[in-house]
Structure 1
Amino acid sequence: MAAQKHLAKFFILANFCLAIGLLLNYALPILISQIIDKQLALTQDSQTLPMWKEPPVPIYQKFYFFNVTNAHEIEQFGHKPQLVEIGPFTYRAKFSKRDIEYSPGDNKDKDKNLQSILSYKNFKTWHFEPELSIADHSLELVTLNAPLAITLSLIQSASNAVRLLVTFSLDGLSEGFFTKRSVRQLLFDGYPDLLTTFGPLLNAEMLSQGGHFGYMNARNNSMDGYFEINTGEDDIEKLNTLNKYNGRHKLPFWHNTPAHCNSLEGATMGELFPPIKTATAEAASIKLFQPDFCRVWRLDHELDLDHKATGLRLKRFRASRDIFRNSTDLPENSCFFSGSLRRGGDSLSSSTTGAHRPTPHHSSHHANRVGGARQTRQTQSQPQQHHHSGRHHTRVRQEWPQGVFSLAPCKFNAPIFMSMPHFLDADSYFRSRVDGLEPEANRHEFYVDLEPRTGSPVVMAARVQLNVAISKPPGLVRFRNIPEIMFPVFWQELSVNLTGQPVIQQLVFASRGAQETNLRISYTFLVLGMAILVATTLFYLHSKLVNWLAQRSSSAT
């Protein structure tokens, strides 16, 4: 009787262990997922906030300039530009968020203690890294005289008085269409240039830069904008997604139809993306916004890969080719067309290449400034009729072939365009106008390798190229031989790699360790329960057998 009571207890214990094992196998993943989500949310007490606020990993920005080797022949005889890439010139970038404030968001019914919305100011600084560069940034290069090219474009839509004043000043310029400057001058330091003083005359919204020009002039240790994001506390699927940029729910740069062109919905600044828990590899995409892009970029899922250094399973997202398609090829991109003034009849069809023609001019990258001046609102170029030297000229708006994206609406209507480096994936029209470009996907594509459970970029190579569209006023004599082409100036790469960084261990645990812990705990209870059940069953059968044998023996005697 006592043995049966013990057996009953063991049966109960076995079933209890099995029940706990099954329950943990179902409930523990949910519990662990909730714990991970809580730590991912950008609340004041989360582990993610300090790393998001000031990323503890090295971020490098590499610049590759195109040195012009036949500047004289281009300017005097209209020869095809001969370009030689020189780089990288590497800067270590530091991004920091300041003046962080929390609020429960727009929903008045929400708990006032809920930290749903986070607002902050974003600051960026750069420091030159000579050991990671091909040469010192004091190296001088021959490059496009961008202030001149921009001025020639802007005066075409200026008033007659302004056009005469600027044209008269151009005649006295000692510098031609190309200039020899150091890398540091071209980027952050800037250099004196008389034409920059005409900026406010050519566009009233353009701020004076004190007679200096530089593609990153006055941007070092400056504020990149005022942002409002979702913390993910009440909805992890909105983690780090933008709610407002500079006080607006939508961008002010593009046409309102289609509405998606100005939309910020679902986009992040790239430090962290919403976790991808259930999205299929075929359907998944992420959205990225940077002020320099002037719009949201969509990155499409390209492949899944095993990261050998960490053992993580990552998803690679590549910049969508739709970004650089024009409205002829993709009508929904019509709202991004601001127009590029060209002479009537100056066709951009791919007559020299046979390739199908227009596609993009899409979002880009570099500089919320032209010559360091920050854009504040949209301006649109319109078809213009010009009178010069008594002659009547008409310029019409035409889209460029696919592969470039105009930043004019957020760059004071300056002819600044973005593309992939070396016009990767662009219409061959662009490469046919210059020599020295060799696009390679593994060196020039834009991609992010994402750990899907946490939405953390493990490897990022954000590569884009800055170009200036050359357009001359009718009747201009001095620069009449300059070819009207899309001129590549430089390309850059923003790179992040978490391999070997301490933070990678947290990603490994969140991605794989938590699941393994769950399996170990639940399987331990299941195995223990099964072992107790089997042992109890065997003991019970053994007891029965012993009793049967004892009864049989006593019956025989």
Structure 2
Amino acid sequence: MLVLWPAIVDLVLTNELMLTPGSVQYGVWKETPINIFMEFYMFNWTNPEEILDENKKPHFTEHGPYVFREHHQRVNVSWKDNNDTVEFHQIRTYHFDKELSNGSLDDIITTADPVALAAPYVVRKNPALLFGLNLVMDVAKTERSISKTVNQFLFEGYNDTLLDLVNSIHNPEFNIPFDKFGWFYNRNNSWQYDGKFDMYTGKDKLTKLGVLTEWNDSNRTEDNFGECAMVNGTTGEVWPPLSNTDDVDLFVTDLCRTLKMEYSGKVNRQGIEGNLYLAGNRSLDNGQQFPENKCFCGGPDSEESCMPAGAMNVSKCKFGAPAFVSLPHFHKADPIYLEKVDMPPPNEETDELFIVVEPNTGVPMEVEAKLQINLLMQPYKQIGIFKKVPRVLIPMFYFKQSAKLTPHLAYLMRIVLDLKMIGFIVAGVLVFIGLVIFVSGIYMTIWGRWSKVPKPADTVCLIDDENVSTISSENVENPVT
């Protein structure tokens, strides 16, 4: 047992970690058994009418959280034995949790009009289209700000006159496949929204478990350039064993890109030691500090989209809208962003994006994914309502997606991690007992101490002062006496 136990544990653990039908990993991956919470914090623009005043900054108040319980399920699963990968779609289902929320989905929020900001940005290089768009915006009576309910901004969506008019033109510059606007419109319970994934099952090599090979039938995205367009890393729910302290890659479909998560030491979660990975300066840089990130900046012909560090350009991922993603409250971003707006300041403890992974099994123990969605407002001389506005990133909202192991799963994880030690202890005890028995046997053999039960005597001697006689024990009632 002492010799074979480690190999037995490794074999069983490998078989259960592989993403194959019947394994523990497959059951957890097919339908996530832990609670996932999605919290939304909305920014309310309190002074949109003062945007043209050079002495006034856009002022934002924070509302929320509006908490949803999120459930993940994998569908359309197809196994590819030729390269040990699995192809699938995923469904995310959201249910509003009123008790955990601070507010109602009917709360009214005022913010910059996303459609009004997006339309001129899409055709910003074509003056003729900008002029025509201005006429359309006049007909639609478009304004810089808009007020809707939280639910309309998030999942329900709302009808927008400008969006309807733009879609009716059928111009290839405007390729928006939605009849309503909503940040997560048509996402709830959709198996198509996140796209199609192809990733390694770990059957060939466990070190490749969960690593994506393709997204939407390609190993590159159309949203970045060069190496930045490569589909790398995992989706964050299945990881291979991590035997070192290197950084890891996390592919985020909402960004259409890979985030480099930086190793930040060891942490303890529920009695289990894990690797802590943070979204650091390398993840958020646009090429200023790390030249290799220049290809995330929009390409060599799009210098205007190269924002200071801290805001990732995801405009191509969002149908051309001027969307830039940062950490909440512009945490770890260039100070210029906060200098142009009046909003709650960042908090290093609550605004961090991190993941904790148990390195031996690759099991994620705790995840807090936090991202803030911002839209770029900038002047266009052909668009009347934007002719004199400042160039500023308008914070729209940020979300916090969190999940962690339940106490029961953490208990099972501790047992799994202690299996080798438990085997060694049991084997050691057995060896000790065996040695005690072996030594005791030798000792008793050498000294002749083996216990034997004596047989009753067949005869008894009766002795007195004068006579000695021998009689049968059968004729004596008490032979002992």
Q: Could you tell me the TM-score, scaled by structure 1's length?
A: 0.75
What is the CA-CA distance between 1:100 and the residue it aligns to? 1.0
Q: Quote the residue 1:289 is aligned against.
A: 251
Q: Quote the residue 2:11 is aligned against.
A: 34
Percent of aligned pairs with the same amino acid: 25
1:445-503 per-position Cα deviation (integer Å, ceiling 9, x unaligned): 01112222221112111001101111221254433342211111111001102233x43
* Matched residue type, 2:224: W
- The answer on 1:272 being equivalent to 2:177 is no
CA distance in 1, matches of 2:382, 2:50: 21
Q: Quote the residue 2:188 is aligned against.
A: 220
Do the aligned partners of residues 236 and 122 (structure 1) sit closer, same or farther apart at CA in structure 2, a change above 3 Å counting? Answer: same
- The answer on 1:503 being equivalent to 2:470 is no
Q: Quote the residue 1:343 is aligned against.
A: none
Q: Quote the residue 1:140 is aligned against.
A: 108
1:76-475 superposed matches below 5 A:
79-106=56-83, 116-158=84-126, 160=128, 162-197=129-164, 198=166, 203-204=172-173, 206-210=175-179, 212-222=180-190, 223=192, 224-256=194-226, 259=227, 261-265=228-232, 267-276=233-242, 278-279=243-244, 283-307=245-269, 310-338=270-298, 382=301, 397=304, 399-475=306-382
* Matched residue type, 1:326: N
What is the CA-CA distance between 1:532 and the residue it aligns to? 3.1
Alpha-carbon contact 1:78-1:483 (below 8 Å) kept: no
Do the aligned partners of residues 527 and 43 (structure 1) sit closer, same or farther apart at CA in structure 2, a change above 3 Å counting? Answer: same
CA distance in 2, matches of 1:478, 1:409: 24
Alpha-carbon contact 2:45-2:60 (below 8 Å) kept: yes
CA distance in 2, matches of 1:156, 1:428: 27
1:19-45 per-position Cα deviation (integer Å, ceiling 9, x unaligned): xxxxx3343112201101101111112
CA distance in 2, matches of 1:73, 1:406: 27
CA distance in 2, matches of 1:453, 1:28: 17
CA distance in 1, matches of 2:398, 2:345: 13
Do the aligned partners of residues 524 and 36 (structure 1) sit closer, same or farther apart at CA in structure 2, a change above 3 Å counting? Answer: same
* Matched residue type, 1:225: G
What is the CA-CA distance between 1:398 and the residue it aligns to? 5.8
* Matched residue type, 1:432: E
Do the aligned partners of residues 26 and 321 (structure 1) sit closer, same or farther apart at CA in structure 2, a change above 3 Å counting? Answer: farther
CA distance in 2, matches of 1:78, 1:172: 31
Indicate the structure with greater helix content: 1
CA distance in 2, matches of 1:78, 1:189: 37
- Structure 2: give runs of 5+ residues left out of the alignment: 450-481
1:213-241 per-position Cα deviation (integer Å, ceiling 9, x unaligned): 11111111112211111111121111111
What is the CA-CA distance between 1:400 and the residue it aligns to? 1.6
Alpha-carbon contact 1:103-1:118 (below 8 Å) kept: yes
- Structure 1: give runs of 5+ residues left out of the alignment: 1-23, 107-115, 340-380, 384-395, 545-557
CA distance in 2, matches of 1:156, 1:202: 14
What is the CA-CA distance between 1:188 and the residue it aligns to? 0.7
Alpha-carbon contact 1:65-1:489 (below 8 Å) kept: yes
What is the CA-CA distance between 1:316 and the residue it aligns to? 1.4
* Matched residue type, 1:230: Y
User: Which range is displaced more, 476-485 or 245-254?
Assistant: 476-485
Do the aligned partners of residues 26 and 264 (structure 1) sit closer, same or farther apart at CA in structure 2, a change above 3 Å counting? Answer: farther
CA distance in 2, matches of 1:151, 1:132: 36
CA distance in 2, matches of 1:541, 1:449: 61
Q: Could you tell me the TM-score, scaled by structure 2's length?
A: 0.87
CA distance in 1, matches of 2:386, 2:316: 26
Alpha-carbon contact 1:446-1:461 (below 8 Å) kept: yes
1:293-327 per-position Cα deviation (integer Å, ceiling 9, x unaligned): 211112122121222xx321222111232011122
What is the CA-CA distance between 1:78 and the residue it aligns to? 6.8
CA distance in 1, matches of 2:108, 2:53: 22
CA distance in 1, matches of 2:82, 2:157: 41
SS in 2 for 1:487: strand
Do the aligned partners of residues 535 and 235 (structure 1) sit closer, same or farther apart at CA in structure 2, a change above 3 Å counting? Answer: same
CA distance in 1, matches of 2:324, 2:140: 26
Tell which structure's C-alpha radius of gyration is larger: 2
Q: Quote the residue 1:109 is aligned against.
A: none
CA distance in 1, matches of 2:104, 2:259: 33
Cα RMSD over matched residues?
Answer: 2.2
Do the aligned partners of residues 466 and 202 (structure 1) sit closer, same or farther apart at CA in structure 2, a change above 3 Å counting? Answer: farther
Q: Quote the residue 2:478 is aligned against.
A: none
CA distance in 1, matches of 2:348, 2:4: 45
Do the aligned partners of residues 477 and 41 (structure 1) sit closer, same or farther apart at CA in structure 2, a change above 3 Å counting? Answer: same
CA distance in 1, matches of 2:110, 2:350: 24
Do the aligned partners of residues 313 and 304 (structure 1) sit closer, same or farther apart at CA in structure 2, a change above 3 Å counting? Answer: same
CA distance in 2, matches of 1:193, 1:28: 66
Number of aligned residue pairs: 445
